[in-house]
Chain A
Amino acid sequence: MTGRNTFTRRRFGQATLAGTALLGAPLPIRQALAQGGPANLKVGLLLPTSGLQAQIGQACRRGADVANEVFADMKMPVKIDIVNYDTETKPDVARTQAEKAIDAGCHMLVGAFDSGQTIAIAQVCEQRGVPLIVNIAAAPQITEQGYKFVVRNFPTAPMLITGALALHKEIFKVSGKTPKTAVLMSVNDTFGTSMINGIKALFPKLDMPYELVDTISYDPAAKDLAVEVGKAKATKAELLLPVSRLNDAKLLVQEMVKQRWEPMGVLNPGAPGLYEQDFLKTMGKYGEFMISNVPWLDPKSAMTQSLEKRHAAKYPNDQLDLNGGFTFEGILIAAHAWLTAKSTKPGDLMEALRKSKIDQHVMIGGPIQFDAKGQNVNIKASAVENLKRKPTVVLPLESAAAPLVFPMPSWNDKRRT
């Protein structure tokens, strides 16, 4: 029996079928199979795709939707099964959905844009021992509580603030105009409170050239900000620092125009809202010249170029911004961990996450690496100004795609078209 040829008709049929399937398979699967990658990784993507933060949540999701295509472009031998869960912009729903995702067999979770929702998910992941990759959430406590199954690829509120305030000085230096007073307006949710506390704590240490004359907080679900803007205008501050979300950013600017308040500039100290597509679309000319000091996509990275191309092909009417960029990176980090671990066991994946060093990625900054607390400390901020209805990098100068415009032209200035 030992010397007998065992290649039977049945084996031939099986081999033919397998070969045909391999040749007929889409490129990413073919690469994964050809390069002997492990069985598919199932990632639960938790985002607020309905409710108050729906638009931002959907922008995040679009970044993940094209991830497998970008991996194929980059010749990464990997394909991720992404299962979407809607947190409905509510921490309690986020917790329930995280439990549901884990029960459904997700090996890792990615999410969830908002700090409050992310904290709820992190608690579930820690209890169940499933790795969580935080795509966007700035509250420091997420990586300060000794969690063993959480990593964050987004700056903490102090990191955002330090980066943003450093860029403020650069904006004043480049423009030659320095405001003397500023008013801080902020949502009073977990993220907003972290930002306010961070700004107040860091402000004296950073030797800022302007004085913070007032801090006005408001509900992120506010339907009207007339009183808040009236109060801010009454301070006669030369600069507005809004820590906003999308809807309140629109209300804020609408009220500023109505109340004819024209500060020297609106400089977002690391918050969402001002650079988002819906903001740019609905505010029109009034959304121009507002500056967000946030991490942004690196236009020089080959992976960013592929992401932009895939995103534009799949979503021609939607803008790719940091929400899509960081969520894509969340999936990228999961893919790298899986390739390193060659296993879907939570412990192995977490070990691989801790050792991650991802040189090629999409956001501006150094390689993606996590410190002992699970925080990526290599992310850098940039100044992104709304110019011609598009968020455009204006600082740092080496990455600038257009010159900075500061002070902001008045509401009726001809430059606003």
Chain B
Amino acid sequence: MTSDFLLSLAQAITKGLLTGMVYGLMALGLSVIFGVMRVVNFAHGELMVVGMYLAWMGFEYLQVSPMLSLPLIAAVFFVAGYALQRGVISPFIGRPEHQQFLLLLAIAILLVNACLAIAGPDSRGVQMESQFDSYELGPLVFDAVRLHAALVAVAIAGLLWLFFTRTRIGKSIRAAADNHMGALVVGLDVKRLYAFTFGVGAACVGAAGALMITIIPVTPFLAAEYTLLAFVIVIVGGLGSMTGALLGGLLIGVSEAVAGLLLQPSLKSMVSFGILILVLLLRPQGLLGKNSQ
């Protein structure tokens, strides 16, 4: 192997790691919601696209950088997620899975069409001077926007970990996830905890959307692609595992980047799905998921 090839490989891995961190944050919301409520959010990609549009609108009409509008978007998503769970999803908890699936699919379709009606089908992106910036570390070049997005994603994941391990409400959520009946017995308000969890999951997706718009432009049709990507990531990492979602994100990000270098770039998605099939065959619960049997 030549040094040029090794440098290209290192560059691809670096890029894959940075993208993978944002992927991980996006999938984290899906994993948190499933881990606690056992509800598979089929409107996940659509929520992220809404987050991307909000960040785009903030930039386009108010000249606010997506990085600055991120906390507000996350807060709006938390409130919306909380209300959505209490008002619409809560009655479906405990109902047959196909009913939950149809409900969330209907929400997804509504969201995509709302985006289409409001923003139209054209791609919308933010144009900032920083999108042309990069940092050099020896022979490696780091894309500034990706690096900033990855650092924010890591910080949000860290805050989420602190929330679930250090706060009273976070511990209550984990308790309700581990033992639903036990949580009811000790007097926890499980319905409120579920709504809180959905709000936290939605806030993660909204934040990921605000980060993602700095990397790629948005169209309403992107939603299905990202729902699929989030599913691939959490299934590879282990559905319900937060660490698994982050690991899955990194794995998919790096594998796509390396596959793009070693094979044709247009074949990179094939590698992600290849990994998914392998994981489903060899370790169906995912790399860090718990075996249900």
Contacts and interface: CB of A to CB of B under 8 A. Distances in A.
A226 B8 contact: no
Interface in B1-57: 4-5, 7-8, 11-12, 15, 19
A231 B143 contact: no
B216 A227 contact: no
Interface string B232-276: 000000000000000000000000110011001110100000000
A224 B216 contact: yes
Contacts of A259: 11, 134, 141, 143
Given A50-B122, A247-B123, A254-B132, A219 B266 contact: yes
B121 A234 contact: no
B265 A88 contact: no
B265 A231 contact: yes
Contacts of A230: 8, 11-12, 15, 260-261
B261 A50 contact: no
A51 B222 CA distance: 12
A234 B266 CA distance: 17
A227 B132 contact: no
B132 A258 contact: yes
A217 B131 contact: no
Of listed B5, B134, B136, residue having the most chain A CB within 10 A: B134
Interface string B75-97: 00000000000000000000000
B266 A188 contact: yes
A282 interface: yes
B261 A223 contact: no
Of listed A50, A55, A188, A231, residue having the most chain B CB within 10 A: A231
Interface string A37-56: 00000000000001110110
A254 B12 contact: no
A188 B267 CA distance: 12
B134 A228 contact: no
B144 interface: yes
Nearest to B216: A223
A257 interface: yes
A88 B121 CA distance: 9
Interface residues of A, number: 30
Given A234-B4, A254-B132, A260 B141 contact: yes
A258 B131 CA distance: 8
A105 B91 CA distance: 53
Contact of B134 (A234, A260, A286): A260
Contacts of A50: 120-122
Given A188-B266, A234-B4, A257-B132, A227 B261 contact: yes
A218 interface: yes
B8 A234 contact: yes
A51 B5 contact: no
A227 B266 contact: no
Contacts of B217: 223, 247
B127 interface: yes
B257 A227 contact: yes
B215 interface: yes
A282 B127 contact: yes
Interface of B: 4-5, 7-8, 11-12, 15, 19, 120-123, 127, 131-134, 136, 141, 143-144, 146, 215-217, 222, 256-257, 260-261, 264-266, 268
21 contacts: A50-B120, A50-B121, A52-B123, A188-B266, A218-B265, A219-B266, A223-B215, A225-B265, A226-B15, A227-B12, A227-B261, A230-B12, A230-B15, A231-B260, A231-B265, A234-B4, A236-B4, A247-B217, A258-B141, A260-B134, A282-B127
Given A254-B132, A258-B133, 12 more contacts: A50-B122, A54-B121, A54-B122, A55-B122, A217-B264, A217-B266, A218-B265, A227-B12, A227-B256, A231-B261, A233-B8, A234-B261
Interface of A: 50-52, 54-55, 88, 188, 216-219, 223-228, 230-231, 233-234, 236, 247, 254, 257-260, 282, 286
A-B pairs with the 9 shortest C-beta distances? A227-B260, A223-B216, A234-B8, A257-B132, A258-B134, A228-B265, A50-B121, A54-B122, A227-B265
